[in-house]
Structure 1
């Protein structure tokens, strides 16, 4: 009875996702209904009190559907600013809400006007130069990828502002690039440490496997034929050279601020791929020699040998493959910016 009660209390993940989607659609429908009611009432004070807060709060939380619905019902709402004089795109830059910022791609005009902001704190590029809020930054795994995301945001904002914005100083006499460098100094240091720690951890794992494989292959290769001995040494030497290249590529890199955008992630990708190749070739050398020595006329021994040999490779893949996917996706993928819908926004 207790087991059946626990079973009923458990909600399958698919049902939970469906429930969340349903709640989301219902919330959007509620916003549509409220906009229709406010529009039909023709009450300017109600419009000011409700719609202004709704669109600004929705922007801070990255709910672009609500922003679209409000602007479609009340086009003038796009020009609303908060108490600090930040409009929806300024807030999207501050809080790293790419879903709201991407609405600029759906605008037919006024793009540079929406990116205009001039006060004592500087312009829109000065905002983009600030370090992201802690909760937003932690959505990206690893300090190096976080720094890459910050650079991507800064480059994206540069596309839509007036070129002379890059040469405007704020009240502290700083250019946008100077603000970015100052705000991200600590993140650059953390990114360098994270990359070196990642490289070292992978290197230690590969070195351990290489040591064990060499120790096992050396005596057994003498028992095998001359042909198999040459193949074994060739594979081992190849794996060692790949291993050295992977170390040098990552650990001897220059860790400049701009290098976190493409250069350093690319080198870490090369390092992870070559480490994987190094481990794979070493395991192939070990398993082939083991089979040649002990597997004569015993084909069934190939199965346990292959299974045991695959364990280090599989564990490495499970541990490092998600990181490799994130690196490739953030560096060479479609990115988080761009036109996401054909629906006209203002």
Structure 2
């Protein structure tokens, strides 16, 4: 005879192995065992059944429970976390199981766990959009609208009837104190498709605040990775994929169209997993931008600011009080989409101050957000008022540019040299727009002016940059000398040898010309790079040297070294082609090209330290060329209809349309 513990173990094992025939037979004979917990978390067999991809096991168990009045309430039993089977089914996205449980008991869709979370809240937190759409349609029926919102006790369960999503789908409900809303949960999980659906069902969700007095817009303004401005693109290949991939950001009845398009577009499996990640990231960025626009339009704080500014009785400048501002959250994290949208709807916010008496220019400069800094500069506003602003700590905008917090001392992708260069350029950029007498304002902590504060705060970075540039220059100069030695020796040992008169045997061959040119270019570039690296090692390592001179020398030297390595491989390939040129097998040519370009390709595709600096250098080079060339080359031609706005050169009357 088996014991209760053995029966529980066998039942649990059958549920894990999805042996539903055994469970059907077992519980038909022992329906009294349906409420018995099977796991350490007090999950019943109903909790385990919803993990199945099919609805058959749950349907069987519900039929058994329905036929036995003593076990009908077992479906409502909670586990250790206070979750019913409907909570578990909603969190796992098992829509079929959710439908079965709701049809079994309509009131079951309103269960609340120990954290105050409904099944709809769980589905939104985990981004189960289909489940959210179904449960929301069940929640917002006409019967709920007529009955109103109240909580009742029934069989130890909290059952809620409600009219709006905002009325009950909150976390940690204790009296009057309410935590995160259902929209907070969706945004925190970066489930923006679900968030847009919820906002469309009930726009009042946008005005709800959590225990920190944060609205959904405040929370979204802290998620920089959810927007394109905070997304790390990686290599140039990733940028090309991001730009070219087609994305659909619809959330209506065609919300699955993007996924279907994506599955049809990429059927190569794991080979295209990086492209799949880029596609998902791009769609997330589009949905996040769309959600930000919707939340800003429904933001109650923005409406209060507009009303306060339109009031003639208010003479004091508008400042942030107890409620945090999404504008400064987005500015701090560089989310340009939110800042643009808010300043477009309310341009007066550019003079808004936070609790530290800082305006948007202070915050943008403090956190090195160049895009937002440029955006504010391009606005048609009195910049003198923003520039002369002094915060609560006595800091001007130049003090913030000179100050470098510990949070900013992260590893720069291009190395400490280029990080120090950016800091110096950032300081010079802000210094140009700062009044001259503001530059000498003493700082309260160190009693130093702006320039002295910059030297103190960047002393550690200067030491790291000095050490890094010495080690890098020494290593690269050694490689450059090695390349120069190889290509110099290759010039005196020409492929194929020489004839009786001393001329190369393959003198008239086109591959010999390629070999000669590549060898000369490799020798010239390698020797020039050696000179550049030696000039770096012999240079003084002061602050001003790191602003232009040293990074430029290092970038040029590294670029020349890369060209020398590339041309060396090309010379090597030309040499081998000269030797095997008259052989019949054609596959040898392909093999030689592959072997020749493989080392350089690996070197180019890897994330070497100066990759970011090279991109910036080429961008600056393009801008310089654009300034030199005539502007007419870059101007777009006006269409035919727009020519009417300009004077006609021949002043001839136009024929009637």
TM-score (normalised: structure 2): 0.42
How many residue pairs were aligned?
A: 327
CA distance in 2, matches of 1:125, 1:41: 30
Instruction: State the partner residue of 2:315.
Output: none
Q: How does 1:1-346 map to 2 (within 5 A)?
A: 12-35=277-300, 38-39=303-304, 53-71=325-343, 77-118=349-390, 121-131=394-404, 134=407, 137-138=410-411, 140-171=413-444, 172-207=446-481, 223-225=497-499, 226-228=502-504, 239-253=522-536, 254=539, 255-292=541-578, 294-295=579-580, 297-298=582-583, 300=586, 302-319=589-606, 320=608, 322-323=611-612, 325-329=614-618, 332=621
How many Å apart are 1:176 and its aligned residue? 1.5
Instruction: State the partner residue of 1:342.
Output: none
- The answer to whether the 8 A contact 2:498-2:504 is kept is yes
How many Å apart are 1:64 and its aligned residue? 3.9
How many Å apart are 1:53 and its aligned residue? 2.6
Distance 1:283 1:224, change over 3 A: farther
Distance 1:330 1:237, change over 3 A: closer
SS of residue paired to 2:504: helix
Distance 1:53 1:324, change over 3 A: closer
Query: Which stretches in structure 2 are left out of the alignment for 5+ residues?
Result: 1-52, 54-262, 264-268, 312-318, 625-657
Query: Which stretches in structure 1 are left out of the alignment for 5+ residues?
Result: 336-346
How many Å apart are 1:130 and its aligned residue? 1.2
SS of residue paired to 2:325: helix
CA distance in 1, matches of 2:357, 2:438: 18
SS of residue paired to 2:354: coil
CA distance in 2, matches of 1:228, 1:313: 28
RMSD of aligned residue pairs (Cα, Å): 4.1
CA distance in 1, matches of 2:605, 2:542: 30
How many Å apart are 1:152 and its aligned residue? 2.4
CA distances 1:219-246 after superposition (whole Å, capped 9, x unpaired): 6658344333998789657644532321
Distance 1:94 1:33, change over 3 A: same
Q: Which has the higher helix share?
A: 1
CA distances 1:150-180 after superposition (whole Å, capped 9, x unpaired): 1222122123222332333334442322221
Instruction: State the partner residue of 2:63.
Output: none
- The answer to whether the 8 A contact 1:144-1:194 is kept is yes
CA distances 1:50-94 after superposition (whole Å, capped 9, x unpaired): 776333323222234434554555565443333433222111111
- The answer to whether the 8 A contact 2:491-2:519 is kept is no
How many Å apart are 1:328 and its aligned residue? 1.4
TM-score (normalised: structure 1): 0.74
Higher relative contact order (CA 8 A, sep 6+): 1
Which stretch of structure 1 is more off in the superposition, 121-130 or 67-76? 67-76
CA distance in 1, matches of 2:595, 2:306: 74
CA distance in 2, matches of 1:325, 1:297: 41
The structure that has the greater radius of gyration is: 2
SS of residue paired to 1:228: coil
